[in-house]
């Protein structure tokens, strides 16, 4: 029949059928016949959509950065969304509006996301922004889920991801240089600590060696003191021995002197000539020669020349008895 058409929608499309200005049917994945001249068909997609974005913002320290990411959403209230944006379709399936409503919806979400990102980034410095990606993502996601434009459009934010936060090339090179210097300082500090540890270890080794030498010298000193004490004890004993020996020798000398004195008392008043005759009679030639020398000594002034042979002296010294 002319103007009668068949509508078959997938389950990810919510269909709203108006006929003569009144809603006749609605639902996801509907199949029905309708009369096109008096009907208006609205197709609201229910599947999730990914909207990429790129934001250029300025941080709290006046540094320009670029945020690149992606926003994922889905429609939870198609009736409310259809009342705000025109999702009506032509019989061929194309949108009747000149502007694609899905693109308009993505632009509104991106604008809300950009306003949220601007409020976060402007409170942070560049290093804080670069080091707080997870915090920024969590804060933006929480803010967007409860944002008035999102609730008004009947949408649900499923996810938000920031792929990269990039500063300007000049600032990127400056940060790289700063990071290199910090790493170099850390490397120098590590080298210093390693050298300091080596010096400290060497000091402990030297101290241990000195302590060992001190212990060895202490033992040596103890050995020397022990040896010295032994030597002193030996010398003391030797001194006692020498004193005893001296006393014994003195006693022996006294006894010999007493014996000699006793033996000489008998001849003390005897003339030496008598002793010489007696010595000659007894055959003691040495005593006789000795008495003769004594007489020569007494009469030395009367002697003109005296020759004494070596044999005579030798016999007197060696004690041989020559007649």
pLDDT in tens, 72-104: 999 999 999 999 999 999 888 888 888 899 999
Top-confidence residue, 211 or 266:
211
Residue 139 has pLDDT above 90, yes or no: yes
pLDDT score recorded for residue 310 = 76
pLDDT score recorded for residue 3 = 81
d(CA 286, CA 130): 132
Residue 134 has pLDDT above 50, yes or no: yes
Radius of gyration of the chain (CA): 68
CATH code for the structural domain at 48-86+97-167: 3.30.479.30
Q: For the residues of 26-74, what is the DSSP string, one character each? A: EEET-EEEEEGGGEEEEEEE-S-EEEEEEEEEE-TTS-EEEEEEEEEEE
pLDDT score recorded for residue 322 = 44
d(CA 270, CA 263): 13
Classify residue 270 by its DSSP letter: S
Question: What value does the mean pLDDT take over residues 254-267?
Answer: 75
pLDDT score recorded for residue 316 = 64
Question: What value does the mean pLDDT take over residues 148-164?
Answer: 93
Strand partners, 15: 27, 43
Top-confidence residue, 237 or 299:
237
Domain borders along the chain are 1-46, 48-86+97-167, 180-269, 270-318
pLDDT score recorded for residue 262 = 77
Among candidate residues 71, 70, 65, the one with its CA nearest the CA of residue 165: 65
């Amino acid at each position: 029949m002319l103007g009668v058409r068949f509508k078959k929608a997938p389950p990810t499309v919510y269909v709203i059928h108006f006929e003569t200005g009144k809603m006749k049917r609605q639902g996801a994945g509907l199949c029905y016949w309708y009369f096109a001249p008096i009907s208006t068909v609205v197709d609201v997609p229910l599947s999730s959509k990914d909207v990429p974005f790129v934001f250029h913002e300025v941080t709290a320290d006046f540094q320009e950065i670029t945020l690149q990411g992606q926003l994922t959403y889905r429609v939870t209230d198609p009736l409310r969304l259809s009342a705000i944006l025109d999702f009506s379709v032509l019989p061929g399936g194309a949108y009747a509006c000149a502007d694609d409503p899905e693109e308009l919806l993505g632009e509104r979400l991106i604008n809300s996301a950009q306003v949220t990102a601007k409020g976060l980034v402007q409170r942070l410095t560049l290093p804080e922004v670069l080091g707080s990606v997870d915090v920024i993502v969590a804060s933006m996601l929480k803010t967007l889920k409860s944002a008035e434009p999102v609730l008004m459009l009947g949408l649900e934010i499923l996810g938000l991801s920031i792929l990269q936060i990039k500063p300007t090339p000049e600032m990127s090179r400056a940060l790289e240089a700063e990071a290199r210097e910090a790493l170099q300082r850390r490397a120098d500090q590590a080298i210093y600590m390693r050298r300091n540890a080596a010096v400290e270890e060497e000091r402990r080794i030297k101290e241990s060696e000195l302590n060992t030498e001190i212990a060895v010298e202490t033992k040596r000193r103890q050995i020397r003191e022990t040896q010295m004490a032994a030597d002193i004890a030996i010398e003391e004993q030797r001194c006692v021995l020498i004193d005893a020996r001296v006393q014994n020798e003195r006693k022996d000398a006294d006894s010999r002197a007493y014996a000699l004195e006793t033996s000489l008392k008998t001849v003390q008043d005897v003339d030496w000539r008598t002793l010489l005759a007696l010595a000659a009679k007894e055959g003691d030639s040495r005593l006789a020669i000795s008495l003769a020398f004594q007489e020569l000594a007494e009469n030395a002034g009367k002697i003109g020349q005296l020759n004494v042979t070596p044999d005579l002296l030798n016999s007197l010294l060696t004690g041989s008895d020559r007649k």
